[in-house]
Amino acid sequence: MRSKRDQLEIISDILDLVEKGHTAKSALMKNANLSFTILKKYADYLISKGYLEETENGYRITPKGEKVLEKLRRVRELEFKLAELINELSEEL
């Protein structure tokens, strides 16, 4: 099991949580298991790309962010399927 998430996983987690209503910075820090500094770094990046907007109460996902989140979900699904196939193949060999 890996101990660290990669950048895409962190971005996906943030977008997913905001979409599900965890829009406050404190809620994102808790539920995404991120420090304030790391959350700020990623949130600033996502805002600069047009995937998030900052609001009075935290963040809101944009339509562009929703499209990226859907692609990230598909990538995760494909990664899971690939891992399953690799495991099956390694058992056969």
Give the model confidence (pLDDT) of 5-63 as tens digits: 899 999 999 999 999 999 999 999 999 999 999 999 999 999 999 999 999 999 999 99
Q: Which amino acid, residue 84?
A: E
CATH number of the CATH domain containing 21: 1.10.10.10
Residue 28 tokens read as 């994102």
Report the amino acid identity of residue 32.
A
Structural domain containing residue 11: 7-92
Here the tokens at position 57 are 């109460």
The residue among 68, 73, 69, 51 whose CA lies nearest residue 60 is 51
- Asked if residue 62 is part of any domain, the answer here is yes
In a domain, 65, yes or no: yes
Q: Indicate the DSSP class of residue 35.
A: -
* Euclidean distance between CA atoms 39 and 37, whole angstroms: 6
How many domains does the chain contain in total? 1
Q: 1 in a domain, yes or no? A: no
